[in-house]
C-alpha cells in the first residue's frame, strides 16, 4: 500500500505530459521555508526548560494551460519537531498534501472540472497521554484519497470555488481506527464513501508583503448534516525582509468518524522563506 501514492503521482504526471505534448503555457511557483525556535537556561532562578523546535516545508503550484484546458497541480509538504527539556523529540507538524484539478474553460458562467487529491504524513505519530508512547499513525496509514467531478467558478486569481459529485477513500494498514465502522464487529481497514464535495480556495494580498491564503473543503455523504467532513486551513504570511517571514496558521478539522468535536491546530513561526521558482 505504501507504493500507492508514488504510483498515483507517476500516473497523473505521465498523463499530463502525454496530454500537453506541446506544453502550451506553464506556470510554476515553488516556495520553501525553514523555521527554528530555541531557548536555553543556565542557573535561571525563575525557572524554565531548554527548548528546540524546527519546521520545514514546501508549497508549490504547477499549472499547465493548453487551449481551453488547464491542469492545476498543488503540493504542500510540511514536517517539524520539537524537544522540551529532557523529553524525547516529538513531531509538531507532519503533512503530505497533493492534488490535481483539470478544468475546461467552456466560456460559460461555470466551468466543468475533474479533481483528485491525496493526503497522508511522512512518519509515525504517537499518543503521549500514557506513561509509554503508543504509535497511532504512520506514512500511508492512514491515507486519504478523493476524486470529484462537477462545475467550478473562478474570480480572477483571488478566489476559486467548485462543487461536484465526489468519492472518498480512507485506507489503513496497522491503524484501522481511522477507517473502522464501530457498528460492525470487524475492524475495517478501508472505508469508501460517495457524496458531494465543495471546495473554495482564497489567495488575497492584503498589502504588498502580507498574503492571506485559505482553503475550505467540505464533503458530505448526503446522509446527515452532522456527518459533513470539513477541513478549513488558513495561513497569514507577512514578509519582514526578502528571506524572512512571519507565518500564522490555523487549521480546523471536523470529521465525526474521528471525533464528535472539532479539532483545531494553530501555529506561529518566524523563519527563512525562499522562492525557488
Contacts of 182 (CB under 8 A, 6+ apart): none
Handedness of CA 166, 172, 175, 180 (dihedral sign): positive
Residue 113 burial by Cβ neighbours in a 10 Å radius (0-12, 13-18, 19+): buried
pLDDT (tens digit per residue) in 212-247? 999 999 999 888 777 899 999 999 999 888 888 888
pLDDT of 3 strictly over 60: no
HEC-encoded secondary structure of 59-119:
EEEEEEEECCEEEEEEEEEEEEEEEECCCCCEEEEEEEEEEEEEEECCCCCCEEEEEEEEE
Q: Does 142 sit behind a cis peptide bond, omega within 30 degrees of 0 on the bond before it?
A: yes
Residue 208: per-residue pLDDT: 87
| pLDDT class of 19 with cuts at 50, 70, 90 | low
Rounded to whole angstroms, the Cα distance separating 263 from 127 reads 15
Residue 137: per-residue pLDDT: 96
Give me 106's grid cell: 467552456
pLDDT (tens digit per residue) in 117-146? 999 999 999 999 888 899 999 999 999 999
State the virtual CA torsion across 206, 69, 231, 172 in degrees, nearest 10. Answer: -140
pLDDT of 263 strictly over 60: yes
Residue 95: per-residue pLDDT: 94
Residue 12: per-residue pLDDT: 61
Residue 41: per-residue pLDDT: 86
Highest mean pLDDT among 51-55, 69-73, 118-122: 118-122
**Which 3 state secondary structure label does DSSP give 184?**
coil
The fold adopted by the segment(s) 4-275 is: Outer membrane phospholipase (ompla); Chain C (2.40.230)
**Which phi and psi angles does 43 have, rounded to 5°?**
55, 40
State the virtual CA torsion across 59, 61, 62, 65 in degrees, nearest 10. Answer: 180
Above pLDDT 70, what percent of the chain? 91
pLDDT (tens digit per residue) in 153-178? 988 889 999 999 999 999 999 999 99
pLDDT of 65 strictly over 90: no
Amino acid at each position: 500500500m505504501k507504493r500507492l501514492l508514488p504510483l498515483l503521482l507517476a500516473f497523473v504526471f505521465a498523463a499530463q505530459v502525454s496530454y500537453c505534448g506541446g506544453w502550451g503555457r506553464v506556470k510554476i511557483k515553488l516556495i520553501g521555508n525553514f523555521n527554528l525556535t530555541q531557548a536555553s537556561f543556565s542557573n535561571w532562578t525563575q525557572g524554565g526548560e531548554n527548548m528546540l523546535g524546527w519546521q520545514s516545508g514546501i508549497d508549490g503550484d504547477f499549472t499547465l494551460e493548453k487551449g481551453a484546458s488547464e491542469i492545476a497541480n498543488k503540493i504542500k509538504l510540511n514536517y517539524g519537531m520539537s524537544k522540551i527539556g529532557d523529553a524525547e523529540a516529538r513531531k509538531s507538524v507532519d503533512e503530505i498534501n497533493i492534488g490535481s484539478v483539470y478544468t475546461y474553460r467552456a466560456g460559460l458562467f461555470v466551468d466543468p472540472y475533474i479533481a483528485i487529491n491525496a493526503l497522508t504524513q511522512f512518519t509515525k505519530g504517537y499518543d503521549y497521554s500514557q506513561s509509554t508512547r503508543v504509535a497511532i499513525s504512520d506514512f500511508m496509514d492512514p491515507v486519504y484519497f478523493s476524486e470529484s467531478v462537477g462545475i467550478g467558478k473562478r474570480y480572477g486569481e483571488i478566489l476559486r470555488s467548485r462543487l461536484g459529485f465526489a468519492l472518498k477513500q480512507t485506507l489503513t494498514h496497522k491503524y484501522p481506527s481511522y477507517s473502522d465502522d464501530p457498528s460492525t464487529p470487524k475492524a475495517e481497514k478501508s472505508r469508501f464513501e460517495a457524496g458531494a464535495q465543495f471546495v473554495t480556495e482564497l489567495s488575497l494580498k492584503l498589502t504588498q508583503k502580507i498574503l492571506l491564503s485559505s482553503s475550505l473543503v467540505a464533503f458530505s455523504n448526503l446522509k446527515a448534516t452532522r456527518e459533513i467532513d470539513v477541513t478549513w486551513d488558513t495561513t497569514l504570511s507577512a514578509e519582514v525582509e526578502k528571506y524572512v517571514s512571519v507565518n500564522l496558521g490555523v487549521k480546523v478539522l471536523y470529521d465525526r468518524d474521528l471525533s464528535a468535536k472539532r479539532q483545531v491546530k494553530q501555529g506561529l513561526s518566524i523563519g527563512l522563506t525562499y522562492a525557488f521558482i
